Structure 1
Amino acid sequence: MKNYVQKGENLTLTAPYAVTSGGGCKTGLIFGVAAGDAASGETADLVTVGVFDMPKVAANNFAEGAVVYWDDTAKVVTSTASGNTKIGVAVTAAANPSASVPVRLNGTF
């Protein structure tokens, strides 16, 4: 195919804010986990698929397979859909007051 560009699993995009390696980053409607540190305005390599242990709102409960959203203000995952971006599903249950949940990213949202 002459028009094929890439798989899209890893994207090099402009970081809209400072992000550290392993941190979530949302640029436009694209969400990924930073493969390295990047300052705001610098390019960042974002991984858009895979399973990552992500920081969460401690009070949120996630059942295995539950939808996970990104709160771009607090820079954590949440179970609250309103005002947040769907990024994937919880791989295992995570109860209140846990600090993180393993999330399978879905780069097609």
Structure 2
Amino acid sequence: MGRGSPYPEEFRNDAVALYRAAAGRRTYAAVAADVGVTGETLRSWVRQADEQAGRVRGGEAMPEERDEELARLRAELGRLRKAEAEWQLEREILRRAAQYFARKMKA
């Protein structure tokens, strides 16, 4: 069993909130330097907060999120297959038209 953190929970929550407010603009190390901890410490606090909030489970998306993404991807695949079938039909029409006009030009 690990030892308790020397930092109060409120401090850790504030550090996580500060990182999230700057997400995309600042690194873990930059935010951690501002609050006086290491980048890895802040990264572990963010990870723990995500796990407690139920946002991440074992590094994977939650089942509901996966189901939504799977449904979206299946719909997109259906649209792409339909478009591919239409493109194949168009190519076939153009190929036959090119053959027809090529014969007409020889005659």
Do the structures match in fold with TM over 0.5? no
More helix by share: 2
Where on the TM-score scale, by shorter chain, does this alignment land: which range?
under 0.3
Larger radius of gyration: 2
> Could you state the TM-score of these two structures normalised by the residue count of structure 1?
0.20
Relative to its length, the structure with more strand (as a share) is: 1
Q: TM-score, normalised by structure 2?
A: 0.20
Higher relative contact order (CA 8 A, sep 6+): 1
